[in-house]
């Protein structure tokens, strides 16, 4: 079963990284996975919750950061424990991998920190802000998925790596948002 899964993972990787390539995606995907690109979104969310929810917004920011930190550290721990090679570092694959970033990280591949971090944040935002953003709250998952997909497209992760990161991040986001919703919850501060 594991061998079959790894074969399917490799097949999907080469579809995403090679067969499904487009010039406009080659330009977009390295850019979309960079943290500074999303800084305006983080700033907007911080201002939005602070202006609309005052002290509750401050605690929202704290839990947002904590969710990120827990996802990042947990994913790094798993990555070190598993020790899976990245496709761009695998001696059997690296000559066939299109690497669209300036370097291939030397850390392990499973689980993807980018996927874990952004699915944790996306889930936290979706659950805690869905009343405020209503039908647009699902865009938090589009954001997380785009970053995870970009990791495979640029050649630094396998699909299973980002799926593992997405599952890990979603679980962390569910836990942190559940805690936030039970203890604080975003409600208009009328004081």
> Domain locations in the chain?
23-183
Percent of the chain with pLDDT over 70: 98
Q: What is the mean pLDDT of residues 52-78?
A: 95
pLDDT at residue 184, as a whole number: 85
CA dihedral 102, 108, 110, 111 (to 10 degrees): -70
pLDDT tens digits, 142-159: 999 999 999 999 999 999
pLDDT at residue 55 is higher than 70 = yes
pLDDT tens digits, 78-136: 999 999 999 999 999 888 999 999 989 989 999 999 999 999 999 999 999 999 999 99
- Tokens 């500074």 belong to 36
Question: pLDDT higher for 37 or 189?
Answer: 37
Task: Work out the pLDDT band at 165, boundaries 50, 70, 90.
Answer: very high
Residue among 45, 70, 39 at smallest CA distance from 57: 45
pLDDT at residue 185 is higher than 90 = no
Average predicted confidence (pLDDT) for the chain: 93
Task: Work out the pLDDT band at 70, boundaries 50, 70, 90.
Answer: very high
pLDDT at residue 188 is higher than 70 = no
pTM across the whole model: 0.92
């Amino acid at each position: 079963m594991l061998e079959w899964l790894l074969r399917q993972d490799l097949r999907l990787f080469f579809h995403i990284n090679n067969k499904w390539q487009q010039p406009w995606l080659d330009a977009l995907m390295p850019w979309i996975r960079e943290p500074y690109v999303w800084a305006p979104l983080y700033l907007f969310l911080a201002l939005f919750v602070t202006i609309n929810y005052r002290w509750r917004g401050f605690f929202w920011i704290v839990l947002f950061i904590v969710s990120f930190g827990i996802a990042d550290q947990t994913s790094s721990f798993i990555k070190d424990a598993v020790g899976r090679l990245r496709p761009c570092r695998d001696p059997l694959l690296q000559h066939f991998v299109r690497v669209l970033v300036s370097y291939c990280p030397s850390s392990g591949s499973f689980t993807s920190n980018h996927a874990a971090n952004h699915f944790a944040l996306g889930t936290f935002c979706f659950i805690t802000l869905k009343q405020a953003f209503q039908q647009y709250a699902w865009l938090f998952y589009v954001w997380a998925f785009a970053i995870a997909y970009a990791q495979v497209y640029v050649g630094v992760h396998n699909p299973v790596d980002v799926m593992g990161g997405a599952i890990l991040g979603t679980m962390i986001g569910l836990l942190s948002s559940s805690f936030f919703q039970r203890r604080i919850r975003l409600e208009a501060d009328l004081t």
